[in-house]
Structure 1
Amino acid sequence: MKRKMGLVILSLALLVGLMSACSQNNAPNEGGATGNSSQATNAQSPELPAGGEKLTEIPLPITNEAFTINYWRANDAKLTASMDNFGEMASYKKKEELTGIKVKFTHPPLGQQKDQFNLLIATKELPDVIYYNWADAVGGPEKMIEDGRIIRLNELIDQYAPNLKNIIESDPDVKKQIALDDGTIYMFPLLKLDALKLNATTGPIVRKDWLDKLGLKAPTTIDEWHTVLKAFKEQDPNGNGKPDELPFTGNWGPGNLTKLHDFSPAFGVIGGFEMKSGKVAFGPIEAEYKSFLETMAAWYKEELIDPEIMTNDGKAFDYKITNNLAGSYLGGVFSGMGKYFNLMRDTDPNFNLTGAPWPVSPDGNAYATFNMNNKVLTYGEAITSSADEDKLKYIVQWMDFNYSPQGSDLFNFGIEGESYEKDGDAIKFTGLITDNPNGLTYDQALASYALSIMDGPINQDSKYLDALLFDQGQRDANTEWMKASSELTLPPIRLTMDEASTVTSIMSQVNTYLNETMTAIINGQKPISEFDKMVETIKSMGIDQAVEMHQAAYERYQTK
């Protein structure tokens, strides 16, 4: 099925200097699943059979005729620890049994998904379905629709996807975030309806046993952070009689200190585009950013920041934590906490970690560096123009199954009685996950059963998170990080194609220059007096125009 798609004029926003978090990672006046926006483009949806009834639930099996969906998506290292492709996952095997539809997965080599996607999308014949982070697609999903590579799904969702349709119609945030600015829905996305809890999984982490030994509490302000880091440097909390502690470390490379931006909200600014007094601004040219740079430079000079922070790789970072050298860092509840609890449980029973609050800013609020209220991520599965038009209703029903109660449990937790058990309203993973007999880590074991530990087209259930936070430090961190405000960060705005082209050109220069200059100021190669010159240089590169374009996109978002 090949259709010429009309012009869709909006593209993805370019955000800089924020964690990932996270990313990421993301409807119009009358859009959503059931209507056409008054601003709709000429992009055409496939014609639907006349007189068909709208589904209220997904019939199982969906079809009795032999049918295989060709599906392309990136693989995941957690999955490949025990199997070759997603088709071997227990949840997908069970889905085939229930729906009657087979799936043939194709995966690019690990780490090569961007290059391979660009090659794939340029080919004449595409797979039926592509799952991708559409923020990485050149021109965004708008361009993919304009070029006739993927199709508009609004009418198909309205007719054949009762579960996703219900979510869209019952949650204004999802309805606003899932569609392009003209109302087009193009994917079945990774959703996080319990957004705050599921997004608050990354933040500042501190050695709690060191705090306890020195009679300190987790820092809440920049001044308290300085007190704690200085104590870690001078008071031998690891007890080996050597001044070898690294108060704050990380593994960010190569060669810049941009991730120290995670401390910038303590000064009321973030290291990229931000909201300030209801308007879009660019944090690094604001006056507060100078105070941030000055403080970070002082910390670096006092050796409170690991001098190798710009060159640490994963192995070096692991070594410093597991050898009792690292006092604090930024990380997540799994890779930054659970991993080290497991590694240190037998070798050092006193080892303990806690999540420190995001530092309080001068206005008394603690701000996160990423928007924790985003419910629709930029990851999702889209139907391509190569899919058989006669099979579209089956493909859409197959995709919608993941958002049904049965499909949600299956893809969040795996097989009941095998990978998990229900305990009232909670769920508990079995020993196959928590103590895998084949030596798989819990995330590798869960990846062989469900999508929740990775990413995929599901509504991620926060009960999976609760079930995997084995240590109190992880649970406390998640609770603490949920308290941070997202008011400094932009919502998931979209730039038009023309705006995106201009902003990309401007920001490629700005980002390179900013990273080099802030790193030089923090590590002492340049004085703080360089800040004024930095601001003028960034302005000369066109930052005001980029801010104006983000402001226009923000205003469009607000009118959805």
Structure 2
Amino acid sequence: MRKHWKSSAVSIAIATSLTLAGCSSGSGTNDKENVSSAAPSSQSSGGVSESGFPIVPEPIKLKMFTRIAPVNGPFKDMPVFQDYEKMTNIHVDFIEAPTDGFAEKKNLLFASNELPDAIYRSGLSPLEATRYGASGQLIPLEDLIEQYAPNLKALMEQYPEIRAGITTPEGHIYAIPGIVTLAAARTDKKWINKAWLDKLNLKVPETTDELYETLVAFRDQDPNDNGQKDELPMTARAGLSVVTMMSGSFGLDQQLGYNINIDNDQVQIWMGDERNKEMLMYLNKLYKEKLLDPELFSHKEADFLAKQGSGKTGFFFDQTNNNFLPIQDQYVGIAPPAGPHGDRLQAQTAPIARDFGAFAITDVNKYPEATMRWIDYFYSDEGSTLLRFGREGEHYVLKDGIPYYTDEYSTAENQPKITPYAGGGAPHIISDQVASYINPPQVQEAQKQLDPYMPKVKYGAPMFDEETAQRVNVLRNDMDKYYEEQSTKFIAGALGFDKWDEFQSTLKKMGLEELQQIYQEAYDKTK
């Protein structure tokens, strides 16, 4: 492998705003320390229990603004929030905003200053957290974490990269992330149709050249044995997901939350690199020969998921096997294929603090201590079990201490009605204790194929001061759009590689070297 890694931070996109519609303020109290068991509570002088439940002696109300995924039911109907209210004496009114239009509603929320008590599952970007923290609309959380969030504090001590990735240059934490200690929940596996390999007497491809030959066989040799050319050799999520999935085979990493390699402590944005050109030429070859999904740049997420479960797809990428469970025996996870220079990196790996900006407390909140204790419970395995699985006996059963959904709730249709984790971005911990659904034995085996090729350290996107973050935003908005447009054309054959020098030159004119220097300075501060 070409690169080495040193320390880590939290992966978060420095992107533009995404968010929700606004409403008023709420209520809360004063808290001291979260304990993951429902033991009798001891009261602090402020009225918030130092441990156990309830959190407050008398009921209080909080308003939280949240994103709701299309698959979710109303949060008020979810057992986690119904049961947790009884445990804590804290009632939460959720102001729900759908994923579509979420960014505009979030902007309006802060622009109008019609703030709730907290922002839940709202994907605040680093720039937004810094901006709204500096303006006073979000409050600093570092002291509250120290005093009232023992579960989160312990995780930050165990994984120092969490704190590094959510702390501003001024030393403040304005938003806390979703945390994923389970490696299998931070990677997309490389799933290949083992039944087709066996039918055609082929071995698992170990290199990109062997993968090409395998895909040709999938296209031409009727591996599903139905006499029709209806096989889809390879697919991926829409857009440039396939670039991310294949980049490690060409020595290209995604460090610091961007298209970045770190070689000998030097940051390199690789979008104009010759290795990237080699990768795009390879993908163009697959696309041109109908080995790569012709709908790659047009199909929807639902289409991609349906292709996984169709039994007619040869090779694709996804975190788990949920979408092809009825035919799971047909597939096996494989290692990253070695590229033309011998690179075999699992570049697509999220950091431990995977979902930045999952929870924040606003300045109108009258009960920040109680609010911090309320959210901290979900950073324990016990709290995460409640959030993800609901009620024992009704929604899940324990087997060897691990929760498993009951038959009724073992489907992707029913789970989102009882838990906000479905749809992503919920503030909680995902550990091996609570991951039976997304980490069954088949997925564990697929992750083992990736483990030897995982980066030793995963740097997340750095927290910049607001001025620098604004400049990064400006540079990346134009550059990322141009890179995506041109790369799509290179892959699809709408732009010839004789235009590569022009592509490189344009990237430089758009400020590639300035952006690289900003990331270099951010990286240097981690050493």
If the length of structure 2 is used for normalisation, what is the TM-score? Answer: 0.83
1:297-316 → structure 2 map (5 Å cutoff): 297-314=284-301, 316=303
Alignment deviations for residues 376-434 of structure 1 (CA, whole Å, 9 cap, x no partner): 5304221111112xx33222222223234542332243222322222224333222322
Q: Does the residue aligned with 1:295 lie in a helix, a strand or coil?
A: helix
Distance 1:88 1:319 in 2: 29
2:154 corresponds to 1:166: yes
Q: Given the alignment, which residue of 304, 309, 330 partners 2:317?
A: 330
1:90-169 → structure 2 map (5 Å cutoff): 90-136=79-125, 139-169=127-157
2:361 corresponds to 1:383: yes
1:267–1:288 Cα contact (<8 Å) kept: yes
1:136-535 → structure 2 map (5 Å cutoff): 136=125, 139-194=127-182, 196-200=183-187, 202-253=188-239, 257=240, 259-270=242-253, 273-277=259-263, 278-314=265-301, 316-317=303-304, 320-333=307-320, 337-342=321-326, 352-361=330-339, 364-375=342-353, 377-388=355-366, 391-404=367-380, 406-434=382-410, 441-442=411-412, 444-445=414-415, 447-449=417-419, 451=421, 454-469=424-439, 473-486=442-455, 490-535=459-504
Deviation at 1:446, TM superposition (A): 5.9
Match in the other structure for 1:536 = 505
1:128–1:384 Cα contact (<8 Å) kept: yes
**Aligned residue pair count:** 487
Distance 1:115 1:238 in 2: 46
Pair 132,466 (structure 1): closer, same or farther in 2 beyond 3 Å? closer
Deviation at 1:172, TM superposition (A): 2.2
Match in the other structure for 2:36 = none
Deviation at 1:74, TM superposition (A): 0.7
2:14–2:125 Cα contact (<8 Å) kept: no
Pair 527,157 (structure 1): closer, same or farther in 2 beyond 3 Å? closer
1:249–1:305 Cα contact (<8 Å) kept: yes
Q: Does the residue aligned with 1:529 lie in a helix, a strand or coil?
A: helix
Distance 2:376 2:311 in 1: 48
Match in the other structure for 1:74 = 67
In structure 2, stretches of 5+ residues that fail to align are: 1-10, 17-31, 33-43
Alignment deviations for residues 166-188 of structure 1 (CA, whole Å, 9 cap, x no partner): 33234323332342333212234
1:149–1:385 Cα contact (<8 Å) kept: yes
1:207–1:327 Cα contact (<8 Å) kept: yes
1:360–1:366 Cα contact (<8 Å) kept: yes
Deviation at 1:449, TM superposition (A): 4.6
Deviation at 1:144, TM superposition (A): 0.7
Q: Does the residue aligned with 2:106 lie in a helix, a strand or coil?
A: helix
Q: Does the residue aligned with 1:107 lie in a helix, a strand or coil?
A: strand
Q: Does the residue aligned with 1:284 lie in a helix, a strand or coil?
A: coil
Match in the other structure for 1:7 = none
Q: Does the residue aligned with 2:261 lie in a helix, a strand or coil?
A: strand
Q: Does the residue aligned with 1:79 lie in a helix, a strand or coil?
A: coil
Pair 533,430 (structure 1): closer, same or farther in 2 beyond 3 Å? same
One-letter code of the match for 2:113?
K
2:139–2:361 Cα contact (<8 Å) kept: yes
Distance 2:112 2:383 in 1: 33
Deviation at 1:64, TM superposition (A): 2.5
Alignment deviations for residues 25-74 of structure 1 (CA, whole Å, 9 cap, x no partner): xxxxxxxxx9xxxxxxxxxxxxxxxx959999524112232311111111
Alignment deviations for residues 479-528 of structure 1 (CA, whole Å, 9 cap, x no partner): 32344323696433123322232233223332233223223333333332
Please, what is the CA RMSD of the aligned residues? 3.1
Deviation at 1:231, TM superposition (A): 0.9
Distance 2:149 2:458 in 1: 32
One-letter code of the match for 1:70?
K
Alignment deviations for residues 513-557 of structure 1 (CA, whole Å, 9 cap, x no partner): 32232233333333322222211221122100010011111222x
Deviation at 1:328, TM superposition (A): 1.7
Q: Does the residue aligned with 1:422 lie in a helix, a strand or coil?
A: strand
Q: Does the residue aligned with 2:232 lie in a helix, a strand or coil?
A: coil
In structure 1, stretches of 5+ residues that fail to align are: 1-10, 17-33, 35-50, 346-350, 435-440
Pair 125,289 (structure 1): closer, same or farther in 2 beyond 3 Å? closer
